[in-house]
Amino acid sequence: MSKPTELVQGTLDLLILTTIRLEPSHGWAIAQRIRQVSNNVLRVNQGALYPALHRLEQQGWIKAEWGESENNRRAKYYSLTSAGKKFLQKEEANWERLSQAIVLVLRMV
């Protein structure tokens, strides 16, 4: 199996917002879900995840509430705000445009 891929700068916010779109999640669950959905290609370490969650919360794109995890431990659960949903839609469109352009360049040879 190949080594996990480092995230491209700027994609972590998009991955976090997409992960919590359907339901609130705590930090560890967000990282695990990203790893699982990407078939172990993308791994988010805590040193990057928690500062990103804090930044997203400061920007008003997510909100946090304390709850109980599946292990009966206290955990902060993050969910999208209305502003976060709008930002995510815009970022998804930007990401789609960018990734299509990259594919065009890769296939030009």
Secondary structure of 20-74 in HEC code, one letter for each residue: CCCCCEEHHHHHHHHHHHCCCCECCCHHHHHHHHHHHHHCCCEEEEEEECCCCCE
Domains along the chain with CATH numbers: 11-106 (1.10.10.10)
Which position has the token pair 């339901």?
Answer: 23
pLDDT of residue 69: 86
8 A C-beta contact, residue 78 and residue 30: yes
Could you report the per-residue pLDDT of 36-86, keeping only the tens digit for each?
A: 999 999 999 999 999 999 999 999 999 999 999 888 899 999 999 999 999
Asked if the model's pLDDT at residue 2 lies above 60, the reply is no
pLDDT of residue 1: 45
Q: How far apart (Å, rounded) are the C-alpha atoms in residues 10 and 29? A: 20
Asked if the model's pLDDT at residue 6 lies above 80, the reply is no
